[in-house]
């Protein structure tokens, strides 16, 4: 399929396909990179926010200043990306929350995404845990707080929604890539036109010229192009000149050969053994009374005109030569004339071509009219008798 496409189609299609693959791969790579950077930035902000909240809660609990904690939690609700912001005691009871309906409830029952096992692990280790949940597309943070009296807050749990930020970043990335893709597409189209005029168009012109090599219609008027194309143009011109000289020499040789054959008054035959086609010269046909366009040029034309008394011997002689049993094929036999009588001919041929297995594929030969010689021979034989 690809072999049938021209360079004018194949090269632009390949370039466009490669460009789309590269742009698409770069887009997905950039998209993943933007998400990771966005998540890291949000994680750092959350860590700073929770570190500050940890300090405030610990100091407020020491002073039993509940209103200070409630104010800080209320301020956290101003961030539209904060989904859950709660302070928990050791029994997972919600002491403070960004939604008042959750207060004094058990977080296990009302907070989707809260993990009590992780809660206790963070409190016991004293190390905060901040991670990204890809299934919920959110950041979940467990931050320990020193509980200074029974029932006091010991953990800050926060879940921040990443979806709006990711969607906004993806939209900006798409817009940027659309601009880049459009500019790149214009550059690609311009490069394709340059490539067409400098490379593809000259190649098409040389391809058309190559069809007329050795003929008067041949022309290599190719516009300015790359050095390789100009080198090919020069080579094609040289081939045309060499072929023209070779054709002239061949025509001259053919004319001399035809003159020699016609001067000798001999008939010429050329047999394609595989196909059974036989070239019969005009003189060959003339010997048996036919015009140049009256006989079908096949093996049966000669075979069916053999005299019945000579036919088997002639065919056996031919078969022995073709099979390699004899070194030459020569035969004097009779061929039926158009008027019905028979003409004596001397037939001589030789193999000139073989296939890769050594089997003969072509044979050429001559016919000589020896009717007069045969009549003289018969007369002498009669006188002797």
* 245, pLDDT greater than 80: yes
Least confident of 136-145, 233-242, 285-294, 295-304: 233-242
pLDDT in tens, 93-142: 988 888 888 888 999 988 888 999 999 999 899 898 988 888 888 889 99
Q: What is the pLDDT of residues 184-206, one digit of tens each?
A: 888 888 888 888 877 777 777 77
pLDDT at site 225: 62
Residue that wins the pLDDT comparison between 165 and 320: 320
pLDDT at 3 over 60: no
Cα separations in angstroms, 307 against 311, 327, 337, 341: 6, 25, 10, 10
**Helix residue ranges per DSSP H, 196-276:** 201-210, 227-264
Strand partners, 342: 336
As a residue count, the chain comes to 385
Q: What is the mean pLDDT of residues 296-307?
A: 91
Q: How confident is the model at residue 17 (pLDDT cuts 50, 70, 90)?
A: confident
Under the banding of pLDDT at 50, 70 and 90, the label for residue 248 is: confident
Q: Do residues 222 and 200 lie in contact, with contact meaning Cβ atoms separated by under 8 Å?
A: no
Mean pLDDT for 147-169 is 84
pLDDT of 1 over the 50 cut: no
- Cβ atoms of 185 and 193 within 8 Å: the answer is no
Question: Who has greater pLDDT, 259 or 314?
Answer: 314
Q: State the pLDDT confidence band at 336, using cuts at 50, 70 and 90.
A: very high
Angle at 353 between CA 347 and CA 355, to 5 degrees: 135
The arithmetic mean of pLDDT across residues 232-253, rounded, is 81
Cβ atoms < 10 Å from Cβ of 379: 10
**Percent of the chain beyond pLDDT 90?**
17
Looking at the chain, which runs of residues are DSSP E strands?
Answer: 82-88, 94-97, 129-133, 138-144, 155-161, 267-272, 278-280, 329-336, 342-354, 360-369
Interval 39-67 mean pLDDT: 83
Average pLDDT over residues 323-334: 90
379: confidence class by pLDDT, cuts 50, 70, 90: low
pLDDT band at 377 (very low <50, low <70, confident <90, very high): confident
Res. 310 pLDDT band, cuts 50 70 90 = very high
Beta-strand relationship, 329-336 and 342-354: antiparallel
For residue 203, what pLDDT is reported?
A: 77
Q: What is the pLDDT of residue 232?
A: 77
For 61-82, how does the pLDDT look when each residue is reduced to its tens digit (9 = 90+)? 878 777 888 888 888 777 778 8
- Under the banding of pLDDT at 50, 70 and 90, the label for residue 385 is low
Q: What is the mean pLDDT of residues 292-313?
A: 91
- Average pLDDT over the chain, rounded to an integer: 83
Q: Which pTM does this prediction carry?
A: 0.48
pLDDT of residue 315: 93
CA distance 83 to 164: 12
What pLDDT digit, counting tens, does each position of 285-295 carry? 988 999 988 88
Residue 2 has pLDDT above 50, yes or no: no
Give the pLDDT confidence score for residue 223 in this predicted structure.
67
Confidence of residue 219 (pLDDT cuts 50, 70, 90): confident
If pLDDT is split at 50, 70 and 90, which confidence band does 177 have? Answer: confident
């Amino acid at each position: 399929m690809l072999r049938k496409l021209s360079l004018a189609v194949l090269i632009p299609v390949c370039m466009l396909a490669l460009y789309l693959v590269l742009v698409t791969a770069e887009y997905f790579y950039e998209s993943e990179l933007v998400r990771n950077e966005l998540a890291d930035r949000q994680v750092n902000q959350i860590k700073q926010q929770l570190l500050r909240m940890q300090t405030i809660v610990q100091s407020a609990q020491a002073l039993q200043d509940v209103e200070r904690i409630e104010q800080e939690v209320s301020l956290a609700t101003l961030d539209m990306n904060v989904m859950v912001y709660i302070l928990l005691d050791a029994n997972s009871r919600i002491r403070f929350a960004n939604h008042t309906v959750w207060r004094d409830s058990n977080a296990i029952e009302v907070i989707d995404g809260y993990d009590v096992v992780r809660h206790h692990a963070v409190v016991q280790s004293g190390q905060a845990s901040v991670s990204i949940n890809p299934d919920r597309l959110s950041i979940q943070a467990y931050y320990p707080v020193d509980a200074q009296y029974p029932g006091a807050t010991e953990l800050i749990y926060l879940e921040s929604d990443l979806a709006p930020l990711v969607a906004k970043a993806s939209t900006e990335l798409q817009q940027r890539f659309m601009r880049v893709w459009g500019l790149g597409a214009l550059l690609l189209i311009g490069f394709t036109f340059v490539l067409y005029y400098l490379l593809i168009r000259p190649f098409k012109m040389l391809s058309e010229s190559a069809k007329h090599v050795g003929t008067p219609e041949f022309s290599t008027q190719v516009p300015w192009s790359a050095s390789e194309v100009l080198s090919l143009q020069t080579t094609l011109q040289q081939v045309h000149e060499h072929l023209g000289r070779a054709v002239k020499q061949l025509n001259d040789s053919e004319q001399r050969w035809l003159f020699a054959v016609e001067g000798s008054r001999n008939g010429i035959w050329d047999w394609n053994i595989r196909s059974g086609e036989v070239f019969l010269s005009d003189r060959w046909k003339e010997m048996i009374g036919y015009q140049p366009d009256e006989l079908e040029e096949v093996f049966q034309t000669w075979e069916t005109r053999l005299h019945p008394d000579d036919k088997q011997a002639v065919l056996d002689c031919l078969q022995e030569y073709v099979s390699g049993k004899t070194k030459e094929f020569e035969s004097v036999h009779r061929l039926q004339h158009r008027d019905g009588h028979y003409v004596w001919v001397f037939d001589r041929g030789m193999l000139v071509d073989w296939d890769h297995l050594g089997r003969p594929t072509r044979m050429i030969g001559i016919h000589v009219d020896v009717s007069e010689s045969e009549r003289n021979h018969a007369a002498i034989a009669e006188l002797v008798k």
